[in-house]
Chain A
Amino acid sequence: MTAKPHAELRDLYHFGEERQRAVRLLGAIGVVGLLLGVIFSLFEAEGLRRFAFTYLVSYTYFLSLGLGALCLVLVSHLTRAGWNVVWRRLAEILGATLPCWALMFLPILGFLLFGGGMLFHWNDPEIVRNDPLIQEKVPYLNAGFFTVRAAIYLAVWAWLGSYYYRNSRLQDRSGDKELTLRMQKWSGPALILYGFTVTFASFDWMMSLDAHWFSTIFGIYFFGGAVMGAIAALILAAQFLQHRGLLKESITVEHYHDLGKLLFGFVFFWGYIAFSQYMLIWYANIPEETQWFLVRQTGGWLGISLILLVGHFLLPFAGLMSRHVRRNRMLLAGWSAWLLVMHWLDLYWLIMPQLSKGAGPSFGLVDLCCLIGLGCLYASTVLWATGDHALIAVRDPRLAESLAFKNL
């Protein structure tokens, strides 16, 4: 037992009236943005194909925030963590967007089922006929099995996201400690499911864009970026709420300090995994594997790769190393925003070079509309999932411990 917690919740923890309006407004902007993106794409050289790719970038970006948050929720239950109860509800809300976000996968499925090889070139019968390597992969890479797998991933995430949010809210009303134990009991199996689904989803949705290329570490790479993005999003969300006068005293500099440590850790984890992936391929120097990096090291993509190396790893690693930075709200928020941008760039770098090999990076109206559109829809989803529920797990048995949490 540590020192007995002696803090009590004294904060505002409900959104006001304006939430409803924001949900509708953001949703409307999102739909308009997406429609504009489709219209603009018709005037582009690549047509709808460009929209499909850029939609996939934005989709996986916001999906990864929900997935990363879900992982944080599962891990905090698995480890019986007490310190993070004050912000766990925020992660639960991000995870609760996953059912909605499963619906947002439908356009991608549409591109697959009705667009032939528009998005996934292994779905183009013409390409497969002339490609013995893809022919070997057809038993796995075919539209039917792909759809079944995607349905499984999305169903698992939607179920996990809503299960943990629902039970946590039930506890808000009943204060039943059994709920905590039940959520803890299922967190282990849930994490196993989570690991498999996230790995294979990243294989299916991003790695298979180049059906020749393979990297067994790819799933962890995506996972590392996703958790980092989720932590950054949580830091910003908490600061946003505090700015609006909610949870003002519950989340203290001590919690930010630990979130900063996690952020720092996952910045390095991402770099470690990214380098592990790169080095093995670089060292073995097998054309089948190196061609993926070759595309990203030629022309304008080299610049993006270097920006990722510096901006996604070296700079934030050095910047977040000091505890003074991690205990400074403004600096921590700055790094979080920076890393959220880098995380988007990372997914852009994973997906967009497959749009047209040899062409450099480009960011146009289509990409902007799609990013803003999906971003607004995501924000709308988050606020909708928040509902009128408490923004903090008000009757969690470890809440008092979390409120009194100190790093030293």
Chain B
Amino acid sequence: MTQAQDPQITPQTKVIGLLAEFDSPDALLAAAERVRGAGYLKTDAFSPFPIHGMDEAMGIRPTGLPWLALLVGMFGGLAGLFGELWANSIDYPIMVSGKPFFSLPATIPVSFELTILGAGVATFLGMLVLNGLPRLANPLFRKPGFLRATTDRFFLMIEATDPKFDLAPTRSLLESLQPLGVEACEADTSPSPMPKFVLPVLVLMGCMALIPPALIARARVTKSEKPRFDTFPDMDYTPGYKAQAPAPTNLFADRRASRPPVPGTVPRGSLQDDDRLYRGIDPDQQTAMRLSSQTGTMLTSTSGPAEEAAEEEEIAEEDAPDAAPDPTDPEDTADAPMAAEDDEPQPAWVTSFPLPVTRELMVRGRQRYDIYCSACHGLGGDGSGLVSRRALELEQGTWIPPLSLHVDSVLEQPVGQLYHTVTHGVRSMPGYGDQLIVEDRWAIVLYIRALQRSRNASPADVPSDLLETLRDL
């Protein structure tokens, strides 16, 4: 018992155990075995590293920690599985790359990681709890020399709570194990009131901790006329140019961010000077037609300027008011512009294909047609595509059914005009020029021609070897 320094506070100490110090792991191991043999159960050993055989020597039984890790790990795995099941297939089903909404392989990585996480966290926290950690203070650390347990000394402690513990006989037992020394370990149990300043400081810190959340909460419910505060102005207003927007700097005189091509130049691949291929127009005949049409205009002043298609349409509609009484009626609106187009002077469409007609082109055309056109026009071109049929079933009134490709007005169209229609669309049909390259558009036209011919084919069109099989059908 130490002498009291301060007469007002009498230290009260209590022996919590006896601590024996050894200089080798073997001595500690042997001592632990002896102590256990003597019937002591509440013992503890301290060493700088794990000693093989120590658990056995001290009689430490396996804990339930593996079971805890297994259970929590399984829970984590199931939680992962269920989370993905819920999120991807029940709450918000999203089809990802054609896979089923719930497909096991995709869920395994997450479930696996959560299994590991669950088992790992359970092991760590379970270990802390089973070891009674964290502990703010341990009386052992007040022992001078005990810290050598982390470098080169080995300690064995018999706790005072052990039923067999009795100071004198226990001490003599430990001393019989040839330790470097045996010491009683004492805990200070004297009342130690909290210093007066602690509580106000804690309260003050708590209040200060509330300031940031309070500021955020206030900002979320108040409105301000002031402009937003820019934390990083150069990130909010970057000097980078955005397409189709004025340039933020005066680098260019006209302040256009998107620069036009330099006059007199053509971007690579944009020359497209072959009218036959790119526009489906025969340039020689077009020139001849224009010359003759100008002559015609001069001769007959009654017809308006031929090139203005818009005017032509208006005239057509005025001319046939009875044919289109209700512009919302799908059939009428479908017919009306067609009537107008018939009056329109057509450019000189090419009548033959401007690229070699091959089997590959036909096969490609069929494939492209089936992808891009058949949804509306149907696989056979008679306008019975799934989209069209569904739209008609819904009877919304705004749907204009696609024209059959086998009516005379289409049959008569030169290939150039069909190409033009595929490229730019016609009436309510959108153009596919942005989605199909030029060769594919021609391939589709070629395939349409094949479809059309198939409706009016004679036995002579069929190869003789296939003719036999047709007869069998």
Contact sample, A vs B, 7 pairs, CB 8 Å cutoff: A2-B49, A2-B51, A3-B26, A3-B29, A275-B105, A279-B108, A279-B109
Q: How distant is B466 from chain A, measured CB to nearest CB, in Å?
A: 27
**Cβ-defined contact, B105 with A282, below 8 A:** yes
Q: How distant is A257 from chain B, measured CB to nearest CB, in Å?
A: 13
The segment out of B53-61, B299-307, B326-334 that lies at the interface is B53-61
**CB of B77 within 8 A of chain A?**
no
Chain B residues 28-60 with CB under 8 Å of chain A are: 29, 49, 51-56
Of B25, B55, B97, B98, the residue contacting A3 (CB under 8 A) is B25
**CB of B106 within 8 A of chain A?**
yes
**Cβ-defined contact, B56 with A406, below 8 A:** yes
**Cβ-defined contact, A2 with B98, below 8 A:** no
Q: How distant is B68 from chain A, measured CB to nearest CB, in Å?
A: 14
**Cβ-defined contact, B52 with A2, below 8 A:** yes
- Name the 5 nearest CB pairs between A and B, nearest first: A406-B52, A408-B55, A406-B53, A279-B105, A282-B105
CB closest residue in chain A, given B56: A408
Chain A residues 385-408 with CB under 8 Å of chain B are: 405-408
Chain B residues 91-117 with CB under 8 Å of chain A are: 97-99, 105-106, 108-109
Chain A residues near B (Cβ < 8 Å): 1-4, 275, 278-279, 282-283, 285, 321, 323, 405-408
Of A275, A278, A282, A408, the residue contacting B52 (CB under 8 A) is A408
**Cβ-defined contact, B25 with A1, below 8 A:** yes
Q: How distant is B294 from chain A, measured CB to nearest CB, in Å?
A: 56
**Cβ-defined contact, B25 with A275, below 8 A:** no
**Cβ-defined contact, A3 with B51, below 8 A:** yes
A405, B109: Cα distance in complex, Å: 37
Task: Identify which of A2, A323, A405, A407 gathers the most chain B CB atoms within 10 Å of its CB.
Answer: A2
**Cβ-defined contact, B98 with A285, below 8 A:** yes
Residues of A with C-beta under 8 A to B26: 3-4
A275, B108: Cα distance in complex, Å: 9
CB closest residue in chain B, given A4: B26
A399, B55: Cα distance in complex, Å: 23
A150, B53: Cα distance in complex, Å: 48
- Secondary structure type dominating chain B contacts: helix
Q: How distant is A91 from chain B, measured CB to nearest CB, in Å?
A: 23
**Cβ-defined contact, A408 with B54, below 8 A:** yes
Interface contacts beyond A2-B52, A283-B106: sample of 17 additional A-B pairs, CB < 8 Å, sorted by A: A1-B25, A2-B25, A2-B51, A3-B26, A3-B29, A3-B53, A275-B105, A275-B108, A283-B105, A285-B97, A321-B70, A323-B66, A405-B52, A406-B52, A407-B52, A408-B52, A408-B56
Q: How distant is B23 from chain A, measured CB to nearest CB, in Å?
A: 13
Number of interface residues of B (CB under 8 A): 19
Q: How distant is B138 from chain A, measured CB to nearest CB, in Å?
A: 25
Residues of B with C-beta under 8 A to A283: 97, 99, 105-106
Chain B residues 61-104 with CB under 8 Å of chain A are: 66, 70, 97-99
A282, B52: Cα distance in complex, Å: 46
Residues of B with C-beta under 8 A to A406: 52-53, 56
Residues of B with C-beta under 8 A to A2: 25, 49, 51-52
Q: How distant is A177 from chain B, measured CB to nearest CB, in Å?
A: 23
Residues of B with C-beta under 8 A to A1: 25
Of A278, A407, A408, the residue contacting B105 (CB under 8 A) is A278
A282, B25: Cα distance in complex, Å: 54
Residues of A with C-beta under 8 A to B55: 408
A405, B53: Cα distance in complex, Å: 9
Q: How distant is B430 from chain A, measured CB to nearest CB, in Å?
A: 31
CB closest residue in chain B, given A284: B97
Q: How distant is A398 from chain B, measured CB to nearest CB, in Å?
A: 14
Q: A3-B25, A283-B105, A283-B106 given as contacts; is B97 within 8 A of A408 (CB)?
A: no
A407, B53: Cα distance in complex, Å: 7
A283, B96: Cα distance in complex, Å: 9
Residues of B with C-beta under 8 A to A407: 52
Q: How distant is B77 from chain A, measured CB to nearest CB, in Å?
A: 13
Q: How distant is B56 from chain A, measured CB to nearest CB, in Å?
A: 6
Q: How distant is A318 from chain B, measured CB to nearest CB, in Å?
A: 11
A278, B104: Cα distance in complex, Å: 12
Residues of A with C-beta under 8 A to B106: 279, 283
Q: How distant is B63 from chain A, measured CB to nearest CB, in Å?
A: 12
A278, B108: Cα distance in complex, Å: 12
CB closest residue in chain B, given A282: B105
Q: How distant is B46 from chain A, measured CB to nearest CB, in Å?
A: 15
A323, B70: Cα distance in complex, Å: 13
Q: How distant is B258 from chain A, measured CB to nearest CB, in Å?
A: 37
A2, B26: Cα distance in complex, Å: 9
Task: Identify which of B49, B54, B99, B105 gathers the most chain A CB atoms within 10 Å of its CB.
Answer: B105
Residues of A with C-beta under 8 A to B108: 275, 279
A323, B55: Cα distance in complex, Å: 16
Residues of A with C-beta under 8 A to B66: 323
Q: How distant is A354 from chain B, measured CB to nearest CB, in Å?
A: 24
A406, B29: Cα distance in complex, Å: 13
Q: How distant is B150 from chain A, measured CB to nearest CB, in Å?
A: 16
A143, B288: Cα distance in complex, Å: 68
A-contact bits for B268-302, CB 8 A (1 contact / 0 none): 00000000000000000000000000000000000
A189, B53: Cα distance in complex, Å: 35
A146, B109: Cα distance in complex, Å: 37
Residues of A with C-beta under 8 A to B70: 321
CB closest residue in chain A, given B62: A323
Residues of B with C-beta under 8 A to A278: 105
A282, B98: Cα distance in complex, Å: 11
CB closest residue in chain A, given B60: A408
A113, B17: Cα distance in complex, Å: 80
**Cβ-defined contact, B105 with A3, below 8 A:** no
CB closest residue in chain A, given B54: A408
Residues of B with C-beta under 8 A to A323: 66
A1, B24: Cα distance in complex, Å: 10
CB closest residue in chain B, given A401: B52
A285, B96: Cα distance in complex, Å: 12
Residues of B with C-beta under 8 A to A3: 25-26, 29, 51-53
**Cβ-defined contact, B109 with A408, below 8 A:** no
A-contact bits for B160-191, CB 8 A (1 contact / 0 none): 00000000000000000000000000000000
A407, B50: Cα distance in complex, Å: 11
A3, B55: Cα distance in complex, Å: 13
Q: How distant is A139 from chain B, measured CB to nearest CB, in Å?
A: 30
CB closest residue in chain A, given B106: A283
A200, B106: Cα distance in complex, Å: 29
CB closest residue in chain B, given A405: B52
A279, B54: Cα distance in complex, Å: 45
CB closest residue in chain A, given B97: A285
